[in-house]
Chain A
């Protein structure tokens, strides 16, 4: 019995080693959203310049949609942009945009004019009102909303063909059945 006691520190060390090495693999920048399985937050944003309609919670009603937070200043948004255009052209799923924190009123619209506009509706969000309502910490982030207005998934970082096929498309298919 007493002899076994000598192994206690070793066992403890083993437990700690497993615990900490598991923690090493986690990315602290990926935050789990508390809004998952919650109603879309109340929000209402004005249109961007050159457009007549902004975006509010009611616009997302009764359909499966993506809500994408983007900005022309955000390089990762440039990366995902062609894929969002692709989604629109193929009519896969409506994507609603929150144009976050542009340095001036023209920057967002100009960028969309140059590279194409993949969004059904866009809200202008210079003061992070929409971004904070959605608990956003960086751009791009994309929320998957089902037709009951429940946020079911949040994707952080750019949507690419690969993560779309591997992860996001199957999720979308599940949401369609809800």
Chain B
């Protein structure tokens, strides 16, 4: 029984779902780790809601290889990301940068939540005043 449970448990193990082929992996584990981190933040432009780390698309694979080649050549993480952005635009960044054009995207929800909170405060304050007025009338 215990064995059966263990066997079933193995099937439930979450398997790492990434598309990196064994042949692409760099020998240097530090560089590979950096490459993985960069790849996770870059959008695959073919299958747009996946990162190049997740995607099986050919172009994503070629981009992963390019990222690794540039790291091996000594580029910084930022330089690698900047190169890809210079070709594909901010769109490839899964985390859009904060700048004038994206202010609404980043802070719009906060502003709307604040407006909602303000509305709630006003509503309850009015209720309270109303209740107080009624109490006063009843009391008289």
Contact = CB atoms under 8 A, between A and B. Distances in A.
Interface of A: 28-29, 31-35, 41, 101, 127-129, 131-138
B59 A135 contact: no
Nearest to A128: B62
Contacts, number: 44
A132 B87 contact: yes
A131 to B, nearest CB: 7
B62 A34 contact: no
Contacts of B62: 101, 127-128, 131-132
Contacts of B63: 128, 132
B113 interface: no
B98 interface: no
B interface, over-half SS: helix
B87 A137 contact: no
B56 to A, nearest CB: 14
B89 A135 contact: yes
Contacts of B88: 31, 34, 135, 137
22 contacts: A31-B45, A31-B89, A31-B91, A32-B89, A34-B85, A34-B88, A41-B87, A128-B58, A128-B62, A128-B66, A129-B66, A131-B62, A132-B62, A132-B66, A132-B87, A133-B87, A135-B88, A135-B89, A137-B45, A137-B46, A137-B88, A138-B46
A31 B44 CA distance: 12
Contacts of B21: none
B87 A35 contact: yes
A28 B62 CA distance: 22
Nearest to A32: B89
B87 A34 contact: yes
Interface residues of B, number: 16
**Top 4 A-B pairs, shortest CB-CB distance:** A128-B62, A137-B45, A34-B89, A135-B87
Contacts of A131: 59, 62
Contacts of A41: 87
Contacts of B46: 137-138
Interface string B63-100: 10110000000000000000011111101000000000
Nearest to A34: B89
B58, B62, B63 interface centre (most CB from chain A within 10 Å) = B62
A34 B86 contact: yes
B102 interface: no
A137 B45 CA distance: 6
Nearest to B91: A31
A129 to B, nearest CB: 8
A41 B86 CA distance: 10
Given A34-B88, A34-B89, 15 more contacts: A31-B45, A31-B88, A31-B91, A32-B89, A34-B86, A34-B87, A35-B87, A41-B87, A127-B65, A128-B59, A128-B63, A132-B66, A135-B89, A137-B46, A137-B88
